[in-house]
Amino acid sequence: MRKKIVAGNWKMNINVNETRTLIAGIHQEIEAFQLQNTRVVISPSHINLSTALALTKESIMEVAAQNMHQAKNGAFTGEVSADMLQSIGVQSVIIGHSERREYFKETDAILAEKVSAVLENGMEAIFCFGELLEDRKSGNHFKVVKSQLQNGLFHLESKDFKNIVLAYEPVWAIGTGETASPEQAQEMHALIRKTLAEKYNQEVADSVSILYGGSVKPANANEIFSKEDVDGGLIGGASLKPADFAAIIKAI
């Protein structure tokens, strides 16, 4: 049975003291939860990863990085490698978030290299993709999402997918308060799974967790998570509020 996952992407928010406070707050909110087959992931900025790892040692919470460079090492001032992340105990890395694609010009080809570097270092990639508003308006959303999936991941072998989590994040629903309807999310997640089955096999398609991201809040989480092919969420704004993040975890 594939895992349910609720992951909080903290983006470029909160300093180290606030990181400590937020982790304590989430712990307090979720300590009584009886979570089965469910993973809870938080993703602080690089500089706060070690703190977060230390504070979650005894906890159900896992820690993911938000990005990394694709090269092994070298003259890439300001960048962080897979080996650096792995060596401090990071087990997952978010790759291909739309903000990375848009503001940092990360192309499908770069993202494919990043995914490989994550896997080669024994970590898991949380691979994000999703269409722009103009893609959806022009009816190209399925085509765009399919090509992001193919270009970013289809160099992998089927065995690699045990370390891949997918996050469908329609760009028009990120930080906008707009959410894809549960039906729109389900429709896209089903297409993603079908595309995986066609390229690999049904087992791969059935075993990969596909998260939905884009303005998931306590008020809409239940409905979105009730859809068959939605295995959880990648949460932005609401993951910075312990009570909201906990309510979303409860909805899974």
| Distance between CA atoms of residues 196 and 200, nearest Å | 6
Known catalytic membership, residue 189: no
The partner residues of 43 in beta bridges, in order of sequence, read 9
Report if residue 174 touches ligand 13P, rule: CB under 6 A.
Answer: yes
Report if residue 131 touches ligand 13P, rule: CB under 6 A.
Answer: no
The partner residues of 232 in beta bridges, in order of sequence, read 5
Report if residue 180 touches ligand 13P, rule: CB under 6 A.
Answer: no
Report if residue 215 touches ligand 13P, rule: CB under 6 A.
Answer: yes
Known catalytic membership, residue 79: no
What DSSP string describes 46-110? Answer: GGGHHHHHHHTTTSSEEEEES---SSSSSS-TT---HHHHHHHT--EEEE--HHHHHHS---HHH
Beta 61-65 vs 4-9: how paired, if at all? unpaired
Report if residue 70 touches ligand 13P, rule: CB under 6 A.
Answer: no
Catalytic position from the list 29, 62, 69, 97: 97
Report if residue 237 touches ligand 13P, rule: CB under 6 A.
Answer: yes
The smaller minimum CB distance to ligand 13P, of residues 122 and 175, is found at: 175
Sign, CA torsion 68/73/78/83: positive
At closest approach, how far in Å is the CB of 34 from ligand 13P?
26
Q: Which residue has the tokens 């995914």?
A: 115
Please report, as residue ranges, which positions from 93 to 122 form the binding site for ligand 13P (by CB under 6 A): 97
Binding site for ligand 13P (CB under 6 A): 9, 97, 169, 174-175, 213-216, 234-238
Catalytic residue ranges? 97, 169
